[in-house]
A and B are shown apart, each in its own frame.
Chain A
Amino acid sequence: MAEAIAVREITKCFPGVLANDKVSFSVETGEIRAIVGENGAGKTTLMNMLYGLYHPDGGQIFVKGEEVKIPNARAAIEMGIGMVHQHFKLVPSYTLGQNIVLGIEPKKGLLIDEDSLVKSVQEVSGKYGLAVDVNKVAADASVGEQQRAEIVKALYRGADILILDEPTAVLTDMETEELFVMLRGLANNGKTILFISHKLREVLAISDNTTVMRQGKVVGSVKTSESDSCKLAEMMVGRETIEGRMRKEDPEIGAVVLELKKVNVLNSRESLAVEDVDLELHSGEILGIAGVDGNGQEELTEAIMGLRPLVSGEILVNGVNIANRTNRQIRESGVAYIPSDRNRAGVAVEAHVWENLLAGEYYIPPYSGSINLHPRSIHSNACVLVERYQISTPGIKTQTGHLSGGNVQRLIVGRELGSDKAMVVVASQPTRGIDIAGTEAIRKILLEYADRGAGVLLISADLDEVLALSDRIVVLYEGKHKEAGPVVDGIRLQVGHLMTGGEGECPV
């Protein structure tokens, strides 16, 4: 079979990150190719370059044997490349049919020719066995139907190379099954399919070949039938001994400070995001929660912090059930919170540094009386925190938005841990997107804080971070917890195996 699409030595830099480093691979016509890798391995960047949304800094792209430049998505579509994004881009108030033909509608004079619209869409969808209810309004369609419409939309535009970015992330198991049948049918009809996934079970079930990426590089491309989930997980996360371990070897582990019993939480789409999660965090312990983004981490942290209701289950802090209490009550029972989205939930960027530093304790002495704030003690405490947590700022009356990401994070950590009251620290993606010095500093603070006897729940999609800091690791996969055990040599592979959907243990 002929080569459908290939890249050679593709490189893409973003400020401070080498997102794609001399990436090469080629895909045959009629092939289903899975692209796997951790968060931040460079998969989506690569696909966006194939669709013309980003432009490579170096290297070549070949479509059907010819070297091409893809300046924009329109050009990609003309070359027969279609993309279905992770978040669908349908107009909610239009019918699925109207969405499919959007921009290239069949016309009768100035008006849209509804009859031939329906006919032409049905022609395409019938040819590939992708049933789409043309007259259904997009907002009323199920996620699976919307995705099918997106695929038909690409095919309608003549795509014969389809790129799907995590197509199963939002689907139910049934819908996933259906999608796979459709994809296989398309491949049999000579379409080429590239899809990004984190779920190795699905990769093994549907793909012909698998390309594994890690830290912007291609680790290798293998024939899927000759591989298994352990081998792929190993390629994804590596099996080298743990580097840059920062945690000391013999921490003093004490009593249980945080306990989750059969916790169930819904996501914003009202489906179960966290399922029967049991966790135990001890005093003096750092418990790493590893996992690919979007496997229930956000919902779990929000449930612990009282920002999202529990469907069922108990959350005990020092033996007291805090499930469904208010955020303030939970904080007062000794829980500190470092949220994953700094600028949304961690600070008010328009507020002054001192105002953000005050937010946790403004309502108690010495910072305020029954009505008034006490500026003197507020300001002196803010200055102490700025100095102790080395927040680099011109002053405490500076707008927080003017600070760098690393310093904003120091500010948040200073506010949450500065009073030394918290016995439990819920740290979600604490170093995401901040500079190296800031990352180092934040990690050291968390380690020291655990040494003083607090329990730290470290939720991070960065496997290296979890391995460097944790005493013990639990993996979240599709909302369920999987115990990976204490951090010892060889756990890296096990964690990689579990977070991509593997069961049991991999042979070492």
Chain B
Amino acid sequence: MKNIVMKTPFKQRLKMILAETVTQIANYAIILILSLLVGAMVIYLTGKDPIAAYQALWKGAFGNWYKVTDTLDRSTVLIFSGLAAAIAFRTSIFNLGLEGQLYIGAFAAALVGFTVKGLPTGLHVPLCLLAGALAGGIWSLPPIIFKLKWKVPVMVPTLMLNYIGILFTSYLIAFPFKDPTAPMAGSPVLEATARLPKLLRGHTLNIGFPLALAAVFLVYWFMFRTKLGYELRLVGYNPSFAASTGLPVKRSSFLAMMISGMLVGLGGSIVIMGFFGRFMGGFSVGYGWDGMMISLLAQNHPLGVLPASLFYAALANGALTMQSTTGVPQTVVVMVKGTIMFFVTVQIFSSAIRRRFQKWTSTSAE
């Protein structure tokens, strides 16, 4: 029999991997530079100095050791919600309810944190995290059940449950669990045993960040190395194909949605248990929404979520410093983000770069 499979020589395979890596890096570098240029133009037009503004931005994000750990801390919740979005989007489940799931999860964690007393930290913290994950997961279920039972697209119910979730938690802290001593609307303070242990004295960074790192690799392993993950991905690619090849389409959709809700619920819990110490109304500045953008930026790949989240966190922290020291409004950063998303979604550069590499990678085939 004629051998059609090209046993790709090792050297060429290496070239292909290298080319793809360089392509991705170059792609994102070009996008970043272009977007920053657009931002710079706007800063310049408003009469401010773009270089000074960007310097302040950099200083705010990575200027000193404290800023670096602060940025890492801020990225923690973004990593969780980015992973939540990635796992759902990969399965073609358009979970737009991350924000609501985040609030519900965070509140459940807080509830366990301030009502359960007398546990050691080693038990109390995991219990709170578990409660947060479960609550986030459960809050995500009605839309997927509607979808599986009555073919209701998940987008609308997930979107609507955001408002219900956010307002419901606001109600809870305004009435049943109101703490009159809180400066703003908030729940009672968490027991000290429910606070996340700090990693460094005097820094905000806590064990949430290493947990997020672990989650990145866990989700990667789950999606690409396990049977369930394989099912999720194939269902995401083409549900009719999955169904006619015997894959459990309904189970996969259900699982993807639940894991998505659990991850973002966990993220919300960590913000409350690590940073605020009590549940606060409106504590999330769009972490759930950012998660979707981060996932998009990472092409729904769990490993890509990590750099994308760090980038988002750096922009958020840097923008604060930029605004306070140079007077350039934070909205410039929003614009830069928007430009980045635009270039990422239109995907014009990667194919152009890939074309350039094509000749190079195929040369050693003969």
Contacts and interface: CB of A to CB of B under 8 A. Distances in A.
Contact of A368 (B8, B227, B244, B247): B227
B4 A386 contact: yes
B268 to A, nearest CB: 28
B234 A355 contact: yes
Interface residues of B, number: 25
A390 B1 contact: yes
Contact of A371 (B5, B226, B240, B248): B226
Contacts of A368: 227
A344 interface: yes
Interface in B229-276: 230, 233-234, 237-238, 240-248
Contact of A372 (B2, B3, B227, B240): B227
B225 interface: yes
Interface stretch (A85-93, A219-227, A323-331): A323-331
A355 B230 contact: yes
Nearest to B247: A359
B234 A387 contact: no
B6 interface: yes
B237 A348 contact: yes
A345 B245 CA distance: 8
Contacts of A326: 246
A289 B152 CA distance: 37
Contacts of A345: 240-241, 243-244
A344 B240 CA distance: 6
B238 A337 contact: no
Nearest to B228: A371
Nearest to A341: B240
Interface string A257-296: 0000000000000000000000000000000000000000
Given A328-B246, A346-B241, A347-B241, A373 B5 contact: no
Overall SS of chain A's interface:
loop
Contact of B238 (A328, A348, A372, A375): A348
Interface stretch (A76-84, A183-191, A391-399, A475-483): A391-399
A390 B226 CA distance: 29
A360 B2 contact: no
Contacts of B240: 344-345
A362 B241 CA distance: 15
Contacts of A394: 6, 8
B246 A390 contact: no
A305 B248 CA distance: 14
B226 A373 contact: yes
Contact of B245 (A327, A373, A375, A392): A327
Given A327-B246, A387-B3, A348 B226 contact: no
A350 B237 contact: yes
A207 to B, nearest CB: 39
Contacts of A373: 225-227, 230
Given A348-B237, A359-B234, A362-B227, A327 B243 contact: yes
Nearest to A307: B244
Interface in B105-144: none
A488 interface: no
Contacts of A390: 1-2, 4
A339 B226 contact: no
A383 interface: yes
Nearest to B229: A373
Interface string A333-357: 0000101000011111111000100
Interface in A300-338: 305, 307, 326-328, 331, 337
A348 B241 contact: yes
Contact of A344 (B5, B225, B238): B238
Nearest to A346: B241
A303 to B, nearest CB: 12
A358 B230 contact: yes
B6 A372 contact: no
Contacts of A383: 5
A359 B247 CA distance: 8
Contacts of B244: 305, 307, 327, 337, 339, 345-346
Contacts of B6: 394-395
Nearest to A416: B245
B119 to A, nearest CB: 31
A179 B9 CA distance: 67
Interface string A360-391: 10110000100111010000000100111011
B229 to A, nearest CB: 8
Given A344-B238, A348-B237, A362 B230 contact: yes
Contacts of A355: 230, 233-234
Interface in B53-109: none
A442 B248 CA distance: 29
11 contacts: A307-B244, A327-B244, A346-B244, A347-B238, A359-B247, A368-B227, A372-B227, A373-B226, A387-B1, A390-B1, A391-B4
Interface of B: 1-6, 8, 225-228, 230, 233-234, 237-238, 240-248
